[in-house]
Amino acid sequence: MLTSYPPRECGIATFSMDLKQAVERMFGSSVQFRIAAIDDGKQHTYPREVAFVFDSHEPTDYQQLAVQINNDPYARALILQHEFGLFDNRRHTDFISMLRSINKPVVLVMHTVLPAPDALLKEKVSALAKFVDRVIVMTKHSAGLLQTTYGINTSKIAVIPHGTHLIQPQPKEVLKEKYGLQHRTVLSTFGLISRNKNIETSLKALRTIVQKYPEVIFLVLGRTHPCVVKAEGESYREELLQLVQDYHLENHVRFVNRYLTLEEMLEYLQATDIYLFTSKDPVQAVSGTFSYALSAGCAIVSTPIPHASELLENGSGLLFDFENADSLAAQVLRYLDDPEFRKSLSGKAMETMASTAWENVANRYMALLEILQQQPVLFPYALPPVQMAHLKKMTTDRGMVQFAHLQEPDLSSGYTLDDNARALIAVSMLYQQIPADELLKLMNRYLNFIKDCQLADGRFLNYRNETGAFTEENEQVNLEDANGRAVWALGYVAGMKQVLPDASVCLATALLEKTFPKLELMQSPRAIAFSIKGLFYYTQGDPSYKLLWLFEHLGEKLVRSYQLHADKKWHWFEPYLTYANSVLPEALLMAYRATKRPLYKSIAKESFDFLLSKIFAGGQIQVISNKGWLHKDAEAARYGEQPIDVAYTIVALDQFYAVYKEERYAQKIRQAYEWFLGRNHLNRIIYNPATGGCFDGLEEKGVNLNQGAESTVCHLIARLTAAPYYRYASQGGGSFSLMQQDFADIAAAN
């Protein structure tokens, strides 16, 4: 990547480091960046990834860089971060000569596209575009300018937004206290300070705002831009300080005059109530600081630069006229006068920016680079670390809350047996690797929730409200599947005699054995399947427990269902594929392992391979849509994919690999897990790696950003199940054991 780069203080330098780090988080050691750092003459001490210090004033550097790229067998492509101010305009011919001589794909990232170029600028941009393979811009507006004003072919242009950071949300009041902002309503602006920021307009507006809301404080976050300091020193900042005095705003303005770390910047933005973006440059193409503020959930007031107008067109923020202090004050007061309005726009802002997470930007860059390779290539993903923050946030003293609004638990949705059973399995899986007291406390909380749901006859109720009381829904909904999931969870824990404390195992065993008289009455195929899974884990924990009669009784029900509906073209247990499909063949395979009945094994494999043929294509998984089940002799609906089905498929693949040792099953586990990472039709990550919260679904044009219990727990199950196959793949086959360091990293992260 040819770019400015830290420690140089520059927006493009920060952008480039964020992009590099995001790609390496997502793809690990399969992708490495070597940086050609554009020098500014300050003798920086660059980090080790900087392999070439590029002087744009020196003609020989252009050709030397081209030779280095061409001769490096590991160099697959060049990403060129472009801003005309970074390069010596007198060396344009050398620049073009360099591009012409590079014999590998070149991607040009244009951070600025001017709307009314003179003939010379138009010619320069057209020449740059001619000798690169793709031109990336960050807004649809910039893409339109390249097409209509500069005459660049649409096929050569890609729109990939400026990245933003997924964060682990912190309470606003906690952060305000940390930074000495208690009981204050915080307005802020952020970035390297220059006259173009037009902060004086905010100070003028503040005079009106504090008359009505004297608790308001305005933070000016960031040091003066190094180029400004070089040209005029700190004169602009001194003028602003004088205005603060002239307007008697000393108690309402705070300057944080330093280059903020990423952590500090994100914390200040989370502490901010209203973010002010006051640029007076009407042709500014994009702003990283604006993007970061919007993604942090700040209520926004912005001048109508193209980037802001495009992002706020859905009503996720407010605009005001350039350099119009009265207009700015009026928009800020709209927010302050109506806290609910401000809160609603804050949530909409986060939804607007979800697709711009750096992880998604990394996916789109790598998808583009995959296409541009001379031979098709898929860069393999890295296995991400386990994060438990959101799971813990969703767990109260009663158990795991059912739903969330974005990342916030929705206590009014209550609790379900389903979610707490799955949570018990997920945390039990992790406890086997990290026997931590905190995990044991979570397990016991979920286990006690299941205990409290069990009736005297062994059956379970499913739905409880936020106070813990059972709801009328238990009388209106068939609860067999929920009962089956409870049996699965109890059997899993009861089978962990060698790992768990006796008290937990004994309680799970007692609750499980109480269900036995009811299990043989089950009719729902999925309830039967979940029950078989629970019984299998239970008997694996103590081989003296045979329960052959119960395995056979339940297994025969699945066999009869299969024989009733299957034909030469339809190898399935029902006349349609719906949800949690993979659990049916998985359970029948477990019944075979318990009973050694060959018929169970053959039907299990035939049906599972049939299912895989319907949900895998082109190296990706696309599970059955919840918008319309796949009926026999009908076309499958598309989109509406849910994490639970991907996770259940991974769990089933793990079971089939254990029996058959077919490499294709191991490969499909990795393909299926990478659905969460972005190997899907949108190239979108389906969970928040900062918290472990998993989004509720993948739709045609976006992601359902709510992070409920089902999705979050199922991602954790999928992640833990897939882990050995990543270790196996990296070793080229062989051992499936997980290194202890993997789990030391998990423990440290949580």
CATH number at residue 115: 3.40.50.11930
Task: Please state, in angstroms and rounded to a whole number, the distance separating the CA atoms of residues 428 and 118.
Answer: 66
The whole domain housing 188 covers: 172-356
CB count, 10 Å around CB of 127? 15
Which residue's structure tokens are 């807004």?
Answer: 139
Q: Is residue 750 part of a domain?
A: no
Q: Is residue 148 part of a domain?
A: yes
Q: Is residue 572 part of a domain?
A: yes
Average pLDDT over every residue of 463-467: 98
**476: which DSSP letter?**
H
**Domain identity same for 290 and 430:** no
| Residue 159, strand partner residues | 137
Largest CA distance in the chain: 89
**Domain identity same for 257 and 123:** no
**Domain identity same for 336 and 404:** no
**Domain identity same for 270 and 399:** no
The pLDDT of residue 748 is 53
Task: Please state, in angstroms and rounded to a whole number, the distance separating the CA atoms of residues 651 and 657.
Answer: 10
Task: Please state, in angstroms and rounded to a whole number, the distance separating the CA atoms of residues 166 and 356.
Answer: 9
DSSP for 693-708, please give it. -B-SEE-SSSEE----
**Domain identity same for 352 and 416:** no
Average pLDDT over every residue of 105-113: 95
- Using CB atoms within 10 Å of the CB of residue 271, give its burial: 0 to 12 exposed, 13 to 18 middle, 19+ buried: buried
The pLDDT of residue 750 is 54
- Residues 287, 292, 294: CA angle, nearest 5 degrees: 95
CATH code assigned at 260: 3.40.50.2000
Find out whether 197 and 191 touch, Cβ atoms under 8 Å.
yes
The pLDDT of residue 733 is 39
The pLDDT of residue 446 is 98
Task: Please state, in angstroms and rounded to a whole number, the distance separating the CA atoms of residues 494 and 504.
Answer: 8
pLDDT per residue as tens digits for the range 129-177: 999 999 999 999 999 999 999 999 999 999 999 999 998 888 999 999 9
Find out whether 669 and 725 touch, Cβ atoms under 8 Å.
yes
Task: Please state, in angstroms and rounded to a whole number, the distance separating the CA atoms of residues 153 and 48.
Answer: 38
- Answer yes or no: is pLDDT of 351 > 90: no
CB count, 10 Å around CB of 266? 21
The pLDDT of residue 737 is 34
Cis amide linkage into residue 59, ω under 30° from 0: no
**Domain identity same for 85 and 218:** no
The pLDDT of residue 622 is 96
Task: Please state, in angstroms and rounded to a whole number, the distance separating the CA atoms of residues 204 and 346.
Answer: 25
Q: Chain centroid to CA 311: how far? A: 20
**Domain identity same for 339 and 417:** no
The pLDDT of residue 278 is 94
Q: Is residue 142 part of a domain?
A: yes
Find out whether 424 and 450 touch, Cβ atoms under 8 Å.
yes
The H-or-E segment that residue 233 falls in is none
Q: Which of 29-43, 436-450, 673-687 has the lowest mean pLDDT?
A: 29-43
**Domain identity same for 560 and 692:** yes
Confidence of residue 94 (pLDDT cuts 50, 70, 90): very high
Task: Please state, in angstroms and rounded to a whole number, the distance separating the CA atoms of residues 357 and 683.
Answer: 12
**Domain identity same for 142 and 181:** no
Q: Is residue 377 part of a domain?
A: no
Total number of domains constituting the chain? 3
Average pLDDT over every residue of 43-70: 95
Picking from 128, 159, 190, the residue at the C-terminal end of a domain is 159
Calculate the alpha carbon distances from 85 to 4, 112, 157, 232, 391 in Å: 11, 10, 22, 18, 46
Average pLDDT, the chain: 93
Confidence of residue 741 (pLDDT cuts 50, 70, 90): very low
Q: Chain centroid to CA 697: how far? A: 12
**Domain identity same for 676 and 636:** yes
The pLDDT of residue 728 is 55
Picking from 130, 159, 188, the residue at the C-terminal end of a domain is 159
How does strand 463-464 pair with strand 408-416? antiparallel
Q: Is residue 363 part of a domain?
A: no
**pTM of this structure:** 0.91
Q: Is residue 684 part of a domain?
A: yes
**Domain identity same for 152 and 177:** no
Confidence of residue 118 (pLDDT cuts 50, 70, 90): very high
Which among 413, 508, 529, 532 is positioned nearest to 454, based on CA atoms? 508
Confidence of residue 29 (pLDDT cuts 50, 70, 90): confident
Q: Give the percent of the chain with pLDDT over 90.
A: 82
The pLDDT of residue 475 is 94
- Answer yes or no: is pLDDT of 736 > 60: no
Average pLDDT over every residue of 606-633: 95
Confidence of residue 743 (pLDDT cuts 50, 70, 90): very low
Q: Give the percent of the chain with pLDDT over 70.
A: 97
**Domain identity same for 110 and 230:** no
- Answer yes or no: is pLDDT of 286 > 90: no
Structure tokens, 352: 């607007």
Picking from 101, 125, 159, the residue at the C-terminal end of a domain is 159
Find out whether 515 and 456 touch, Cβ atoms under 8 Å.
no
Q: Is residue 748 part of a domain?
A: no
